[in-house]
């Protein structure tokens, strides 16, 4: 419930409560939010305060008002995140402006006690980066690169750069194939903090391996995806070719 004695404004407290319900799936995409009158009665506050809270969520792009129908949780936009074109291109293709921040700068490190990583017991370049839309974190990536194939990448500025484009422009390489493993897992405290979610709740993780000509397993990455913000999807083809078949990850939130 709301705390009138808190220095946090009541409308902000209410917006946080509604946001938590959206992220938990209590208010799934497409569902109507209780009316301002109902919320005002439920929380014992005035309608102007409720309206301020709703305005905050509208500005964040999480809910939308429909004249004569009410206020609804916005349907998550679909981003074909798992194509070989790269994560940055996936957002840009949908017209979603993004910002990428390098959390851990590129450096060589010895990978140990990690059998799922193709660089296990070897040295690889490693970096960690965060993708944001409108200032909100949506994707965290831990990326490992072949140190011989990508020699000198630690001297390049990768902030707000498409890694796929860097690989293409500087190394004249394009991945031929890739494999991906999907899991639902809880985050450690540090990753949860970067993504602004609770570590006690599960999140979609994807382990991706990209294969280059004469260099299988050239890039290995682990993606931690905020599915309450975007419905991440993948386009696959039948063995005989033809039209791509969409594979959509469920839009129901798995985050707090």
Domain identity same for 180 and 227: yes
Domain identity same for 131 and 191: yes
Residues 129 and 158: their CA atoms lie apart, in Å, by 9
Domain identity same for 140 and 205: yes
- Angle, helices 47-59 vs 10-24, to 10°: value is 50
CATH number at residue 25: 1.10.10.10
**What is the C-alpha R_g of the chain?**
21
Written as tens digits, the pLDDT of the chain (256 aa) is 899 888 889 999 999 899 888 867 788 878 899 999 999 999 999 999 999 999 988 887 788 898 888 999 886 555 445 554 566 666 655 556 788 899 999 999 999 989 999 999 999 999 999 988 878 898 899 999 999 999 999 999 888 888 888 888 888 888 888 888 889 999 999 999 999 988 887 888 989 999 988 889 999 999 998 877 666 655 554 444 433 333 333 333 333 3
Domain identity same for 112 and 136: yes
CA angle 219, 221, 222 (to 5 degrees): 170
Q: What order do you get walking across the sheet with 202-212 strand by strand? A: 99-110, 123-133, 136-145, 215-225, 202-212, 177-186
Find, among 90, 86, 153, the residue nearest to 126 by Cα. Answer: 153
- Predicted local distance difference test score (pLDDT) of residue 90: 62
- Predicted local distance difference test score (pLDDT) of residue 147: 95
Task: HSE, CB side, 13 Å, CA atoms: give it for residue 237.
Answer: 7
Q: How many Cβ atoms sit within 10 Å of the Cβ of residue 114? A: 12
User: Is the pTM above the cut of 0.75?
Assistant: no
CATH number at residue 220: 3.40.1410.10
Number of domains within the chain:
2
| Contact by Cβ (8 Å): 156, 96 | no
DSSP-assigned states of every residue in 111-179:
--S-TTSTTTTSEEEEEEEEEEETTEEEEEEEEEE-TTTTTTGGGS--TT--HHHHHHHHH-----EEE
- Predicted local distance difference test score (pLDDT) of residue 252: 34
Residues 224 and 206: their CA atoms lie apart, in Å, by 7
- Predicted local distance difference test score (pLDDT) of residue 77: 54
Domain identity same for 95 and 211: yes
Domain identity same for 97 and 204: yes
- Predicted local distance difference test score (pLDDT) of residue 201: 79
- Predicted local distance difference test score (pLDDT) of residue 254: 35
Domain range for 36 is 10-73
């Amino acid at each position: 419930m709301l705390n009138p004695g808190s220095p946090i404004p009541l409308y902000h407290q209410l917006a946080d409560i509604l946001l938590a319900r959206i992220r938990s799936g209590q208010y799934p995409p497409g569902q109507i939010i209780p009316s301002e009158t109902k919320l005002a009665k439920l929380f014992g506050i005035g309608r102007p305060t409720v309206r301020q809270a709703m305005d905050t969520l509208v500005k964040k792009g999480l809910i939308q008002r429909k004249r004569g129908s009410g206020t609804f949780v916005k349907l998550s936009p679909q981003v074909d995140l798992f194509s070989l074109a790269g994560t940055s291109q996936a957002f840009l293709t949908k017209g979603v402006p993004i910002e990428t921040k390098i959390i851990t700068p590129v450096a060589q490190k010895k990978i140990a006690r990690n059998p799922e990583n193709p660089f296990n017991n070897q040295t690889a370049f490693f970096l960690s980066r965060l993708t944001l839309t409108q200032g909100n974190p949506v994707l965290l990536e831990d990326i490992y690169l072949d140190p011989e194939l990508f020699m000198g990448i630690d001297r390049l500025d990768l902030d707000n750069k498409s890694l796929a484009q860097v690989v293409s422009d500087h190394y004249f390489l394009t991945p031929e194939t890739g494999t991906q493993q999907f899991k639902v897992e809880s985050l450690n405290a540090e990753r949860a903090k970067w993504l602004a979610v609770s570590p006690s709740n599960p999140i979609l993780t994807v382990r991706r391996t990209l294969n280059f000509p004469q260099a299988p397993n050239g890039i290995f990455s682990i993606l931690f995806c905020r599915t309450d913000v975007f419905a991440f999807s993948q386009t696959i083809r039948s063995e005989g070719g033809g039209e791509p078949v969409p594979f959509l990850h469920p839009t129901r939130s798995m985050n707090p």
